Amino acid sequence: MNKERSILVVDDEAVILKMVERVLNRFGYSVWGSNTCDEAVKAVKERRFDLVLLDMLMPGTNGFDLLRTIQSIAPSTPVVVMSGYASPEVASDTSKAGANGFLAKPFTPEELQIGLSAVVNIQ
């Protein structure tokens, strides 16, 4: 039986959602895009994801709050945080908050693959 591998991408930027979807589709993942926090929470409640890729700065909420909410709903689902406001402090804070990885935006398809391969099996 072929298990569907899926990743939820939470970002309010349509260009990021499209690029991530294109890259991850090449590696056999179905990508579920969400451009709001409410949609993301609903998706995590309704299905199991192999990974959540979460933008730190979303309209209406702090990315740390959304990270904690996702962890409370699906504690075994790894979460990788991405942010355009990257610094060693932000990366450290996301790790302390329980994120499994951090990607600085903008990133290339290759950087996306490398950044996520440490968390899920992307080949």
List, for residues 80-110, the tens digit of each pLDDT value. Answer: 999 888 778 888 888 888 999 999 999 998 8
* 1 contacts: CB under 8 Å, gap ≥ 6: none
For the cut 80, the answer to whether the pLDDT of residue 122 exceeds it is no
> pLDDT for 17-45, tens place per residue?
999 999 999 888 999 999 999 999 999 99
Q: Given a cut of 90, is residue 77 above it in pLDDT?
A: yes
| 123 pLDDT tier (thresholds 50, 70, 90) | low
Question: In the beta sheet, which residues pair with residue 7?
Answer: 31, 51
3-class SS shares of the chain: helix, strand, coil, % to 5: 40, 25, 35
For residue 1, pLDDT over 50 is answered with: no
All domains of the chain in start order, with CATH: 5-117 (3.40.50.2300)
